[in-house]
Structures are given as C-alpha cells and as structure tokens.
C-alpha cells in the first residue's frame, strides 16, 4: 500500500504487486517509528505528502494545560457530531527495537489508520445501534471507534481489545484519562489483550457481545480465518458485527467468503455514510495521485448469525 505514514501501509495482500509495495512501505514506516519519527511528525509528513492518511472526520487539539504530563494528549472531537470528543494518546513515543522484535504484530502501534477513524465516525452517526455489550477487536493503540461508542452510546459495557500488549497498555491509559474526565457516563469500559487465534481469549467471552466492531483487520492472511471464528463465537445469537476495511486486493472478498462458509450472513456496502462518500468522490474527481480506492476506501461489512452459525 503506497501510504507510508498513512496507516494502511501495513497491509499484506495476496496480490503480489501490491504485496511488494506494501511490505516496502510498511518497513519504511516502522523504520521511521523506530527512529522516533511518529506519523504526525512533520519530518514524516513531509516524506509522505502525497499519501492519503485521513478522511478528516475528527479535529485534533491539544488540551490547554501547563502540566507537562499532558503534553502527549490530544482531544479528538467529531467534526460532524461536535458534542462528542475523547482524549487520546496517539503518539506514545518511539518504539524500542526490542519491543518490535519481541512483540506481536505492531501495525496498530504506529498511528490511527483511516478505517478506524471512519469506524469511529460511523459509530457516532449510528449510536442507536450500540446497546448492551460491545467489543472492539484489533483496535490498535487507541481503539478510537470503541472509545467513541463508550462516549456517545447507551451501551452497558464496552471492551476495547487488541492482540498487541503495547497497544492495550496505551488504551488502558486512554480509558483512565477519559474516565477521570467523566466521558463515559454509566457505560463500563474495560481493556484487554484479546487474540483472535487464542482459544482461551475467545472462550472467555463466548456469545457475550451484542455488537463487535473491527477496523482494518482483514488484510492479515494468517489471522483472517481466526478473526471470522472469533467474531462468530463472541456474538450473541442476535448480535451483529461491523467490519470496515479497504478492498485491498482480494483480502476483503476472502474475509467475506470465509464468513459465509462459517454460516454468517454477510452484507457488504460501498456507500454507507454521506460524509465519507463525499470525501471519496472528491478524491476521485480531483484525481489525487495519493488516493487509490482499492487501498484507501473502507467498505462496510455487516455480519450476523444465520440459523446454523
């Protein structure tokens, strides 16, 4: 994925041409991060000026404070639902080489990818959908979408999860920060390492969730079927899962095929939100070189349990 500092750079697709570019972009981005140049660092931005990074659905401001511990925090406020905001630490400092080498998949430790931003926006716009127990899978270092559910919806509980421990450590601090700021109302918010491919992780929440969400998690060839399995097991009989991800070669189609084979009902949509669609059309009309629908435009897949699932 020709995205460098824009986060979808990390995909591995089974489309060979895309795969080579993606691997190159991914290592280049990780190299920048290891050197302490985060994706919002101007030096990195300059290097990726032709790359698509955001649908601009959230404003990002620093809270006014003289406290140096506040320096890493930013407030994400929805542009289209400005009553809702959350504090995020989306730049927890350089990753150590040992962390990268010893920890599980680091793609969520780099930045908030555009699909996560779009998912957060979609959740805000459709907040009536989120009742009961909600889980975000593979939420990366911020779980922005699940966090927005906790901020805006009437959910009883929200579990924010990822398979990477560093991501979850950061999300834990984000939750504490937002709890102190009184952002969650009566919703109980928790965090945990939840690996889709680890039986005990999934078994602990068997048939527990009314809604499962995940963004930009379908490109991992080695984990796609475990993601489908985890979603099927985590959902209650009437539950629904929302997955947002770009088409990216045949990765989206492959996920939908696997979900169908697992007995889930699959509904895929290209046009699901007016603002996101407008940005997409604008990018196409302006012929932006950096924008490639296949790599950047997230499709929405809704999964629900059929009779046999």
Ligand X SMILES: C[S@@+](CC[C@H](N)C(=O)[O-])C[C@H]1O[C@@H](n2cnc3c(N)ncnc32)[C@H](O)[C@@H]1O
Q: Which residues bind ligand X (CB under 6 A)?
A: 7, 10, 105, 107-108, 112-113, 115-116, 138-140, 162-164, 167, 195-197, 215-217, 220, 223, 226
State the minimum distance, in angstroms, from the CB of residue 179 to ligand X. Answer: 21
CA nearest to 74, candidates 26, 28, 30, 38: 38
State the minimum distance, in angstroms, from the CB of residue 139 to ligand X. Answer: 5
The nearer residue to ligand X, 154 or 293, going by C-beta atoms, is: 293
Instruction: Name every residue whose Cβ is closer than 8 Å to that of residue 47 and which is 6 or more positions away in sequence.
Output: 4, 5, 32
Residue whose CB is nearest to ligand X in the complex, by number: 108
State the minimum distance, in angstroms, from the CB of residue 11 to ligand X. Answer: 7
The nearer residue to ligand X, 103 or 275, going by C-beta atoms, is: 103
The nearer residue to ligand X, 94 or 229, going by C-beta atoms, is: 229
- Spatial separation of the C-alpha atoms in residues 247 and 270, rounded to whole Å: 10
The nearer residue to ligand X, 66 or 232, going by C-beta atoms, is: 232
Integer CA distances (angstroms), 251 to 8, 19, 215, 256, in order: 13, 11, 13, 9
- Spatial separation of the C-alpha atoms in residues 186 and 303, rounded to whole Å: 28
> Is the distance from CB of 92 to CB of 164 less than 8 angstroms?
no
The nearer residue to ligand X, 124 or 215, going by C-beta atoms, is: 215
State the minimum distance, in angstroms, from the CB of residue 276 to ligand X. Answer: 14
State the minimum distance, in angstroms, from the CB of residue 246 to ligand X. Answer: 11
Q: In what order do the strands lie in the sheet with 264-269?
A: 188-193, 157-162, 133-137, 209-215, 235-246, 298-305, 264-269
């Amino acid at each position: 994925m020709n995205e460098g500092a824009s986060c979808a750079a990390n995909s591995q697709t089974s489309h060979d041409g895309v795969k080579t570019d993606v691997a190159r972009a991914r290592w280049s981005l990780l190299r920048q991060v290891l050197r302490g140049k985060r994706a919002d660092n101007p030096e990195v931005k300059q290097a990726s000026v032709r790359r698509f990074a955001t649908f601009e659905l959230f404003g990002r401001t620093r809270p006014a404070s003289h406290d140096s511990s506040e320096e890493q925090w930013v407030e994400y406020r929805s542009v289209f639902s400005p009553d809702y905001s959350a504090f995020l630490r989306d730049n927890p400092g350089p990753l150590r080489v040992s962390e990268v080498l010893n920890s599980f998949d680091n793609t969520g430790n780099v930045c908030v990818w555009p699909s996560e931003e779009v998912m957060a926006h979609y959740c805000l716009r459709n907040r009536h959908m989120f009742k009961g127990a909600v889980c975000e899978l593979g939420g990366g270092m911020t779980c922005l979408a699940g966090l927005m559910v906790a901020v805006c919806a009437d959910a009883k509980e929200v579990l924010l999860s990822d398979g990477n421990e560093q991501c979850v450590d950061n999300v834990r601090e984000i939750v504490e920060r937002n709890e102190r700021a009184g952002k969650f109302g009566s919703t109980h918010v928790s965090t945990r390492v939840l690996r889709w491919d680890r039986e005990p992780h999934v078994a602990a929440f068997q048939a527990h969730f009314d809604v499962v969400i995940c963004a930009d998690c379908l490109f991992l060839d080695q984990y796609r079927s475990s993601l489908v399995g985890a979603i099927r097991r985590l959902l209650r009989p009437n539950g629904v899962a929302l997955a947002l991800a770009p088409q990216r070669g045949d990765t989206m189609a492959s996920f939908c095929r696997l979900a169908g084979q697992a007995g889930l009902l699959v509904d895929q949509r290209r046009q699901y939100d007016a603002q996101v669609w407008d940005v997409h059309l604008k990018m196409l009309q302006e012929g932006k070189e950096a924008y490639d629908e296949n790599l950047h435009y997230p499709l929405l897949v809704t999964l629900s349990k059929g009779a046999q699932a």
